[in-house]
Structure 1
Amino acid sequence: MTDTLDLIVIGAGMAGINAAKKCSKAGWSVAIVDELPYGGTCALRGCDPKKMLRAGAEAVEAARRLEGKGVTGETRIDWPALMKHKESFTDPVPESRESGLKEAGVRTLHGRARFTAEDRIEIEGHGEIAFRHALIAAGAKPRPLHFPGAETLIDSTDFLNLAELPRRIVFVGGGYISFEFAHIAARAGAQVTILDRGARQLKMFDPDLVDMLLERSRAAGIEIVAEAVPESVEDADGTHHVIYRTAGESHAIEANLVVHGAGRVPAIDHLDLAAAKIEIENGGVKVTPWLQSPSNPRVFAAGDAAASPGKPLTPVAVFEGKIAASNMLNDKRTEPDYSGVPSVVFTIPELARVGLLEEEARERADVEVSFTDTSGWFSQKRLGESHAGAKIITAKDGQILGAHMFGPDYAELINVFSLAIKLKLTAAQVKAMPAAYPTRASDIGSMF
């Protein structure tokens, strides 16, 4: 490839694919490269396959909750069959994504990429390519862990491809990955422990509702150890001995599998960014508010690879990719709007939030906070669910500033509040919505 491309995109996930298609549609010569199968983390190694496995856990949990309430008989997870169900979605994704890109006129490349100059990139198996613009959308990878035996841990990708589920599992870290996978594994019959070095788990979520989740997790058989610092993982006769320290004392726990759930960082180490004068900030590609590298204006970044204000979430990657593409095409400085982006921990039941936390809101202005324990409501009663709650935060003028929920199907309900925050609706306007009854949405008016 000797001609200069208008755009080279690094990373075939949601940010990269959306940007590549948009620029190609506008008439640019575009190529996209990834060393992994096309589709990105969400479709292949994260959100989607996780929820495919969660479907089995949900079914088992639903049957258990209604035991003695009209449902009888043992329900269990056939892990290999559940994994095949997951693969029925993930297996076709790479070919489908690549075909869609080709149909859009994008050249698809495979291999590891690295910058060799401010306007050049070398791709394994394809040589050096010159470009007018580049978009770094390389996603994220597990955070490096530094203790003896850390290399024996599997990551989230490996967990989502387990042929069999081990009997005893330890998750290192107290974030999304650990809690979501722990809830799946526990319903599948595994003995599960979460070791978190922090005093508070899931720090980005409302602490009152996190406490509810911790109670519900323990009720599901999940052991959670806070302020547990991993010291080492030792292998003996096929068993992992996990040594950790709490309150100055060392403890040990045995496991058949230890899973890395201690966070992720931008996957940009291999790109040789210094060769292209691209700066790094907070571990990601340093960008202006409009997603452009200040040190190399040819280059933009989006999604998990960018050190932008956006959270590492799929919808953020999608709109950052599109905005970066628009700014490149039109030489604009449009900034992404991060308001109203919801976030969910897909435990059983799920924990959801959108907007400000209570402590954040109180720092900015006088607010009204409505916290409601909804565990006794009809919506939970009919499912046999024991834990649920909602916290809605509004300004004095009634504008909704934040919504936080823990309960069955609240991942869907949070989208109503996402729209409310995006459109700056007031509590009165949201309450005026006539919802079908009895549905989750019909509960909204009683939450604040």
Structure 2
Amino acid sequence: MASYDLIVIGSGTAAQVAVAKVHAAGWSVAVIDHRPFGGTCALRGCDPKKMLVSGEEAIDAARRMAGHGVEGALAIDWPALMAFKRTFTDPIPAKQERRYADLGVDAFHGLARFLGPDTIEVDGRTLQARHVLIATGARPIALGIPGEELVVTSEDFLELENLPRRIVLIGGGYVAAEFSHLAARAGAEVTILQRAAQLLPQFDPDLVGWLTPRFRELGIAIETSATVSRVERTEDGLVVHATRQGAPEFSVAADLVVHAAGRGPDLEALDLAAGEVAVRDGRLQLDDHLRSLSNPRVYAAGDAAGVGPPLTPVSSHDAKVVAANLLDGASHRPDYRGVPSVVFTVPPIATVGLSEEQARRQGRKFRINAASTPDWFTARRLAEPIYGHKVLIDEDTDLILGAHLVGPNADEVINLFGLAVRHGLTAADLRSTMFAYPTSASDVGYMLA
């Protein structure tokens, strides 16, 4: 039986960071994954998605500048755009395996499952571990509706060779917003069926309201407070049936139905009971150090841990915390202050820190600087009428409590506010900073005036 100081289940961001740190300290390490090495973000999530977004950014820029010195029509060639994406994703698994081989890290392909509190089985082999890191990521939650087998995942969408004409997205969060913009600009007819009363409920409702007209302009139909009841196949494709409280059932025809209703920790195949790893309501029971409450040999990081926001930087942060605890003793805790979150629609919407509702619930005394500002230079030079901000500033300390942005380069500028929230910078600190001009960052001072 092979023995290791650390066995990592998963090969994504959290796994890569943890492996690098403990291996550098001289630990023996094994990595297990039943899918191509590289993880969700690099292969099936944020990175390939952003590669595809590059195509729609070019289309949108040409549309906005039409009549302002730019002429000629552009269109997305979906197969060619997908081929561009694969120039990034295709080399990753082999590159990752070469890296592990060069380091002397043993890599195993197959489903891992616990045989005991310190024993893992993979592909018929039994491995013993001094410690185990669960970094298996997340998977789509079950919809629990008839016809669920007809619904594809976001990962399937990112591998489409050709784009269907009619697309229905079940859910109204990050994935639905991003994929709807991309598909609509590529020529598809898109409908979003959102169970909640608001699209993008994790974001400030005022800013979502400023962004929503772009969905309408793209021809995206948004049905809120709509609960999908079933999906069925017909001679003409698929039909999605949905209900609203107190209203008759309605249906939407589609050629493709995409699951965009949320993800949860991917734990089912691990046989955690055999590993004496406690789970409640589908989530690992962890202490403040990301260690299993029931089996101190086992840690978790990233989406599998389900503690911090389900974002790639959080996975990396969790892995650093776990590695420090493994090497120094369990005294390190994750710190999720100031983690920015972005929806890569075109234009993007971004948030960091407290929402207005959260700040009020906490009883904070704060002022709000908020405005829709399509007349500012950043918006005007790009012919982009969607541009706005809402910043929450503590009245007593002048600290930035939260920031919410929508419009050109919001995905970049939000990082400045993230820096302020995480490191305790005040509004005065940001106002006194001299940013390059004219840039979107140079608008920060005006957002705080």
The 3-state SS of whatever aligns with 1:443 is: helix
Which among 155, 158, 162 is matched to residue 156 of structure 2? 158
Give the C-alpha shift of residue 271 in structure 1: 0.3
Which consecutive unaligned segments of at least 5 residues does structure 1 have? none
Matched with 2:323 is: 325
* Number of equivalent positions: 445
Report how far residue 281 of structure 1 moved: 3.4
Secondary structure (helix, strand or coil) at the match of 1:321 reads helix
Deviations 1:102-161 (A, max 9, x none): 223311111000001011011124x11111100000000011111111110110111001
User: Bigger shift: 170-179 or 232-241?
Assistant: 232-241
Pairing of 1:175-190 with structure 2 (within 5 A): 175-190=173-188
Give the drift of 1:427. Answer: 0.2
- 1:282 and 1:307 in contact (8 A); partners too: no
- Aligned match of 2:55: 56
Is 1:197–1:228's contact at 8 Å kept on the other side of the alignment? yes
Q: Deviations over 1:157-199 (max 9, x none)?
A: 1100100001111000011111100010011111110001111
Output aligned runs, 1:79-98, within 5 Å: 79-98=78-97
| Aligned twin of 1:432 | 432
Q: 1:287–1:307: 8 Å Cα contact kept in structure 2? A: no
What is the CA–CA distance in structure 1 between the aligned matches of 2:27 and 2:167, rounded to whole Å? 49
- Tell me the CA shift for residue 290 of structure 1: 0.7
Work out which of the residue numbers 136, 146, 149 in structure 1 matches 2:147: 149
1:41-52 matches, cutoff 5 A: 41-52=40-51
Q: Where in structure 2 are there 5+ consecutive unaligned residues?
A: none
8 Å contact from structure 2 (residues 171, 259) kept in 1: yes
Shift of 1:42: 0.4
1:358 aligns with 2:362: no
- Matches of 2:389 and 2:280 in 1, distance apart? 36
TM (norm. structure 1) is 0.98
Q: Percent identity?
A: 49
Shift of 1:101: 2.3
Could you tell me which residue of structure 1 aligns to residue 376 of structure 2? 377
Contact 2:2 2:126 (C-alpha < 8 Å) held by counterparts:
no
Amino acid at match of 2:58: A
RMSD: 1.1
Distance in 2, Cα, partners of 1:336 & 1:101: 26
> Which position in structure 1 is the counterpart of 2:264?
265
Change over 3 Å in CA distance of 1:445–1:65 after alignment to 2 = same
Partner of 1:447: 447
Normalized against structure 2, the TM-score is what? 0.97
Query: How do 1:2-401 and structure 2 match up within 5 A?
Result: 2-125=1-124, 127-247=125-245, 248-308=247-307, 310-364=308-362, 365-396=364-395, 397-401=397-401
Q: Helix, strand or coil for the counterpart of 1:217?
A: helix
Using the TM superposition, give the Cα deviation of residue 330 of structure 1 relative to its aligned residue in structure 2, in angstroms: 1.6
State the 4+ residue runs in structure 1 displaced beyond 6 angstroms: none
- Report the residue type matching 1:439 in the other structure: T
Q: Distance in 2 between matches of 1:134 and 1:91?
A: 29
In 2, Cα distance between the equivalents of 1:179 and 1:281?
Answer: 31
The AA in structure 2 aligned to 1:345 is V
1:411 counterpart SS class: helix
